[in-house]
Amino acid sequence: MPITTCIFDAYGTLFDVSAAARRAATEPDHACLAGLWAEFAVTWREKQLDYTWLRAITGAHADFRQVTGEALDWALEAHGLAGEAGLRARLMALYRDLDAYPEAPAMLGVLRRAGKATAILSNGSPGMLGDAVSAAGMDGLFDDLLSVETVSIYKPHPSVYDLVGQRFGCDRSEVLFVSSNGWDAAAAAGYGFVTAWVDRNRAPVERLPWRPAHVLHDLAEIPSLVEALS
């Protein structure tokens, strides 16, 4: 069946999760990050994902804002930065205002003009997603912002992917699901979506029972892929 609906993960796919640490590191008050922001950003992101999975497995759900803050606390302590005045608050504020990848707005515009439904499906809470979209100047480029808060469990639980069909009334085979997270692209493929993994870092494919149908290196390739599939 042709692709009618294009669904995007948010963090790491549309929005650069390293941007908060990178931007803070340029500020005089937070020069402590200048030499290690990239390593710090990786630690923060990895712990953030760890906590979503552990909370999903144990049934101890908390919204993404809380999880992001708890992961940040761990990363700050791990890097010896827990005592840096104002750093935690600044990083949390910047996380609501992450940079979008530069090709994202134009790519979404092409899809909209082609008549495709577009939405975000994210672990992010509704407020975080709304802030990120607005800060990136992408208001009006999505039919909806779908959050795991509707079902109170994180990806890759199938009930999260169920939200797409519930909202758009489409068959799974009509959905192109786009994620830069290999585990997310794999799980969505297992669910039945057509999947595109945006492998920005040329990483190996995840060793899981399912594999993404398409491997891309940035979002600019999405419109041509959708055209080919439609």
Question: Packing angle between helix 37-58 and helix 64-78, nearest 10 degrees?
Answer: 130
Contact yes or no for 119/168 (Cβ under 8 A):
yes
pLDDT in tens, 92-150: 999 999 999 999 999 999 999 999 999 999 999 999 999 999 999 999 999 999 999 99
Contact yes or no for 181/8 (Cβ under 8 A):
no
pLDDT in tens, 159-169: 999 999 999 99
Written as one letter, the residue type at 111 is L
Residue 1 has pLDDT above 90, yes or no: no
9 tagged catalytic: yes
pTM of the model: 0.96
**Token pair in block for residue 110:** 């092409």
Q: Out of 9, 16, 99, 184, pick the active-site residue.
A: 9
